[in-house]
Amino acid sequence: MQDNKNKQVGMLQYDKTDVTISAIETKYHGFFKLNEYQLKHKLFSQKQSKTFTREVFERGDAVVVMLYDPKQDQLLLLEQFRAGVLRANDTPWMLEFVAGMFDDNESPIDVAIREAKEEANVELKPASIKLIMKYFSSPGGTSECIHLYWATFDSTKVLSGSVYGLADENEDIMLHVVSRNDALALLSNGKISNAATVIGLQWLAINYQSLTSESQVSQVNI
């Protein structure tokens, strides 16, 4: 083991130029794609790694939108079936935010507007959609980047129990309007377990007071 006592090391000192990809082979290409990479990269010792293989699940990027009503302090949660959770012992129905993948030539805001309408019948305006962060969902195995936003909506115009979604995409989505406190209680009790919703709710728990203040100022200035 190297002795790193009292040694200051710079963070994130390498970039893509420190990686050499010798081959990419597509192993599967259906709705998603699986690529096999042959690559090597610079080591922290300044030497080069050996060439090794990594499989990367290329599922494209996605947009997630947390719909929050600061005036009523309420959120919109979507309940729907998720096949990826079938191997778990609990229910494969999950509580999530509005989300969707990119179509050709779409911006993240375009995706947010389209998915809010398709999944929840909520019409968003571009100015109401604000970026929380971008993050990689599981960078050890997939290239997917999540664009996480929040947007204001009028919770009094959304009926809990309504069902939306596109039949040709086998979507069956039930809406639930819940208070911020109830949503955080669901999170604490393990009823919300998908990454984007967990991250969004944790961000909201830290920032909701400033969002409420902004909403009050907006109402005064109208």
Cα separation, 79 vs 68, in Å, equals 16
Question: Is the pLDDT confidence value at 57 over 90?
Answer: yes
Give the pLDDT confidence score for residue 72 in this predicted structure: 95
pLDDT band at residue 143 under the 50/70/90 scheme: very high
Among candidate residues 79, 96, 115, 169, the one labeled active-site is 169
Q: Is 144 a catalytic residue?
A: no
Q: pLDDT by residue (tens digit) across 2-30?
A: 555 666 778 999 999 999 999 999 999 99
Task: Decide: 39 and 17 in contact? Cβ < 8 Å.
Answer: no
Q: How many domains does the chain have?
A: 2
Q: What percent of the chain has pLDDT over 90?
A: 80
**Position 87 in a domain:** yes
The residues near 99 (Cβ < 8 Å, ≥ 6 apart) are 62, 63, 64, 65, 115, 119, 196
pLDDT band at residue 103 under the 50/70/90 scheme: confident
Question: Is the pLDDT confidence value at 38 over 90?
Answer: yes
Residue with tokens 């990686």: 19
Chain length of the chain: 222
Cα separation, 204 vs 148, in Å, equals 12
Give the pLDDT confidence score for residue 31 in this predicted structure: 85
Cα separation, 73 vs 181, in Å, equals 9
Looking at the structure, tell me whether residues 42 and 142 fall in a common domain. Answer: no
Looking at the structure, tell me whether residues 30 and 112 fall in a common domain. Answer: no
What is the domain extent for residue 30? 16-58
Q: pLDDT by residue (tens digit) across 180-195?
A: 999 999 999 999 999 9
Cα separation, 98 vs 102, in Å, equals 13
Looking at the structure, tell me whether residues 48 and 156 fall in a common domain. Answer: no
Give the pLDDT confidence score for residue 49 in this predicted structure: 97
Kindly state the average pLDDT of the residues 136-148.
Answer: 94
Give the pLDDT confidence score for residue 211 in this predicted structure: 87
Q: At 172, which CATH number? A: 3.90.79.10
Q: Is 81 left (phi over 0), alpha (psi -120 to 50) or beta?
A: beta
Give the pLDDT confidence score for residue 4 in this predicted structure: 56
Output the CA torsion 205→208→209→215 (10° steps).
Answer: -170
